[in-house]
Amino acid sequence: MRDFSYTQAGSVGAAVKAHAQGQDAAYIAGGTTLLDLAKLEVMRPGHLVDVRKTGLDQVERTSDGRLRIGTNVTNTDLAYHPLVQEHYPVLSEAILAGAATGIRNKATTGGNIMQRCRCSYFRDNVSPCNKREPGSGCSAIGGKSRAVFAVLGVSDHCIVAHPSDMCVAMAAIGGYVTVNGPQGERDIDFLDFHLLPGDTPAQEHALEPGEMITHVTLDAPLQGAGSHYLKLRDRASYQFALASAGVIVATDGNTIRDARIALGGVGTKPWRAADAEKALIGQPASEDTFARVAEIAFKGARPTESNAFKVPLGKQAIVRALTTVTGPQAS
């Protein structure tokens, strides 16, 4: 691990200023990803700007019924917050499925959104990796790509899956990310924040240089809806998802009035299955319906030989999650 300088900022403005003055600067809060990658020399920050004292650690309801979450709210505090458990249970379920308690106690909302991939080729600092060294190639393509590689949103330059559970739930809920930087404050739609790899997989987020996340604001809860987060993995003890589904469904009797479906473990970003959602509207809540929309969700999937199982597994996650939410009427 290389030497670096350090600044603890007392405000957002001070943090942005310190970042602009530092060489190869990076923002840090919990540090659960950044410090690991710095030790591996995958990331090599020359200056760390600590944002834990910037006061961004509150969860509050807005006047229009949305939920505003400070970037420094820990995963534990967010998962157990009364407003989250009452109005966004799918988010609480997703966070609690994501990591051990010790990590959740340190990891922050902003850090979770910014966490980087778990690709072994990216992290070994030796193998060709377009995400780590643009233009060097992708060792995962043609390599061992069973567990942490995607089937949706992949490109000829990168096939790694986004690792977050929390972000899958947020993608289902909808909302926007507020960032602040040298050019001031702006909002980014949550679904636009994470970028597809395309031919520039090293560019993972819609952040401009020097910008930091200050808040995430979730859309108002879908009225009369139930929700569920289902995570399928090799073992139950805090493993990354092979496939997961976060669903929110509102029904009128046995007819689906509105729906949200987001997927994890299978997409190169938190994956919102918009076409599958549209196909659910006005349909009966039944396993036949759910199986049909699951097929739609994975239309265009590009699996490798070693992770092709993720396509049927992801479809199963959708069917099971929707069946759990709609209950006996779906049988």
Q: Is the pLDDT of residue 252 over 80?
A: yes
Please report the pLDDT score of residue 328 as a whole number: 65
Give 331 or 151, the one with higher predicted confidence: 151
- Among the listed residues 168, 165, 187, 164, the one whose alpha carbon sits nearest the alpha carbon of residue 66: 187
Q: What is the pTM of this model?
A: 0.96
Cα angle value 189/80/98 (rounded, 5°):
65
Supply the pLDDT for residue 8.
97
What's the pLDDT tens digit per position in 24-52? 999 999 998 999 999 999 999 999 999 99
Which domains does the chain possess?
5-53 (3.30.43.10), 225-330 (3.30.390.50)
Strand order in the sheet with 47-50: 5-8, 47-50, 25-28
pLDDT digits (tens, 9 = 90+) for 162-186: 999 999 999 999 999 999 999 999 9
**136-165: per-residue pLDDT in tens?**
999 999 888 788 999 999 999 999 999 999
Beta-strand relationship, 255-264 and 243-252: antiparallel
| CA pair distance 280, 289, nearest whole angstrom | 7
Summarize pLDDT for 1-18 with one digit per residue, the tens: 688 999 999 999 999 999
Contact 261, 171 (CB under 8 A): no
Candidate ranges 131-145, 229-243, 284-298; pick with highest mean pLDDT: 284-298
Task: Give the closest residue to 3 by CA, choosing from 38, 42, 30.
Answer: 38
Burial class (CB in 10 A: 0-12, 13-18, 19+), 1: exposed
